[in-house]
A = this chain, B = another copy of it.
Amino acid sequence: MTAHSLAGKASQNDKRQRILAAAETVFAENGFFYAKVSQIAKQAGVADGTIYLYFKSKDDLLISLFEVRMKQVCTAMNETIAKDKECADKLRSFIRTHLALVNDHPSLAEVLTVELRQSSKFMKEHSNPQFAEYLKILATIIADGQSKGEFDPTVPAPLAARGIFGMVDELALAWLLGEEQKFDIVRAAEWVGSLILKGLTKTKPTS
């Protein structure tokens, strides 16, 4: 996974990227509601007013951060699953990559998973094109598997995708909010992958 390069990819000489990276850190540390634009400015090493040259508001910062990072996640995910031939392998890669990203980038994951849920503006008013794109990658894997006869065609692919996303997202949330004795999220990805694949596969499961 190119997950490692996701946050670091933010080029240091690009002020917009620097502000977004700072927002990611400050949102994760303080929570979206308690985060102050002045803290983000300080973290980014720019004047408070500079933030408003690039972003309309704190809400706009969160929405932009989500779109930028989810676009990077979608690109990385597409590159990863392109290496797999079988739909089953692609599905397993998807789940593995999602949870590896959470494991490797807890601050980013905290913002995407915890903070976004808490922004009512975001959840209800924003159309989240990159989130839709992310779900589409997963739905396409399932639909392909169904049309090739690998997966059971009973469940509509977009609905299965939403459900599988919910499963990995909830495990990410449990892991991120769990304070002591965190479970092994990378191992959990293998369990979830096996369970889902067995559930979807048409033939007798190999496990």
Contact residues of A with B, CB < 8 Å?
31-34, 114, 117-120, 123-124, 152, 154-156, 159-160, 162-171, 173-174, 177, 183, 188, 191-192, 194-200, 202, 204-205, 207
Query: A191 to chain B: which residues have CB within 8 Å?
Result: 154-156, 159-160
Query: Is there an interface contact between B162 and A164, defined as CB atoms closer than 8 Å?
Result: no
Decide if B170 touches A207 in the complex (CB within 8 Å). Answer: no
Where chain A touches its partner, the secondary structure class is: helix
Q: Tell whether, in the assembled complex, residue B171 and residue A166 are in contact, meaning their CB atoms are under 8 Å apart.
A: yes
Complex Cα gap A167–B173 (Å): 13
**How long is the Cα–Cα vector from A198 to B196 in the complex, in angstroms?**
9
Please indicate the chain B residues that have their CB under 8 angstroms from the CB of A171 in the complex.
159, 162-163, 166
Q: How many copies does the complex hold?
A: 2
Shortest CB-to-CB span from A122 to chain B, Å, is 9
Of B33, B117, B120, B199, the contact of A198 (CB 8 Å cutoff): B199
Closest beta carbon of chain B to A33's beta carbon, Å:
6
Chain B residue contacts of A198, Cβ below 8 A: 198-199, 205
- Which of A159, A200, A202, A207 has most chain B Cβ within 10 Å? A159
Residues from chain B with a CB closer than 8 A to the CB of A194 are 154-155, 199
CA distance A174 to B159 in the complex (A): 9
In the complex, what's the smallest C-beta–C-beta distance from A19 to chain B, in angstroms? Answer: 22
What residues of chain B lie closer than 8 Å to A200, measured between beta carbons?
195, 199
